[in-house]
Amino acid sequence: MVAQPELDFAVSTAQQVYRWLREEILRGNLIPGARLSESEISGRIGVSRQPVREAFIRLAADGLAEIRPQRGTYISRISVSAVMCARFIREAVESDLSRKVAARADAEMVRRFEAEIAAQRRALSREDAVEFVNLDDRFHRLLAVEAGEDAVWSVLEGLKSQMNRLRHITVKAFDAHKLIDQHEAIVDALRAGDADAAEAAMRRHLCEVLHDLPEIQKRAPDLFCP
């Protein structure tokens, strides 16, 4: 089992256990097919089994865990169909967001995106894959914010948990500098105020998973389900 969380007793225990386990699953620290033990987790973090059970139920609702009656709770395998669905929706939405931002981008806005890319480069130089994925998310969220569509990112966040699991694998398996290059192509288009180029750059970027996923499936087929 991974390291235990530090609990804040001002916040619901079940919520904290859920968030902790969810993050560990997304990061790949809890691998698909592994069994989650109510008693082990509750004993490790010093809480009753009830909040742990509630966390398991929420993880199952997210598609991240599978509760098998009389057998236990297991980490779900990565759903290829869910990854592809999230990718399709993100491409449709974020390419349009890119167009909106290109139409309104100014020097100050471009500097904010450039700062995000610089932070991504620093994360890679430290070989900090977790931080890089977080910064990648922050880059895409900034796009929604600058487009004046903050709520859109919240919707996308709810759709991409399976895609996030894959991202934590691919950023370690492949050269993530190519993702930074793709981000730079998006920012170049924003800087030029070229909506068509911004849309095209975003579409290319979000199609990267179409190349990475088959290779990861070949290397580790047991991590995936249809």
Average pLDDT over residues 105-109: 98
Pinpoint the residues of the chain covered by CATH 1.10.10.10: 13-76
155 contact partners, CB below 8 Å, separation of at least 6: none
Q: At what angle do helices 129-146 and 177-192 cross, to 10 degrees?
A: 20
64 contact partners, CB below 8 Å, separation of at least 6: 22, 25, 26, 75, 76, 161
**pLDDT tens readout for residues 168-186:** 999 999 999 999 999 999 9
Retrieve residue 140's tokens.
Answer: 């895409």
Is residue 57 within 8 A of residue 165, CB to CB? The reply is no
Mean pLDDT value across the chain:
94
Pinpoint the residues of the chain covered by CATH 1.20.120.530: 79-225
Retrieve residue 178's tokens.
Answer: 């190519």
As its CATH architecture, domain 79-225 has Up-down Bundle (1.20)
**pLDDT tens readout for residues 113-129:** 999 999 999 999 999 99
Fold designation for 13-76: Arc Repressor Mutant, subunit A (1.10.10)
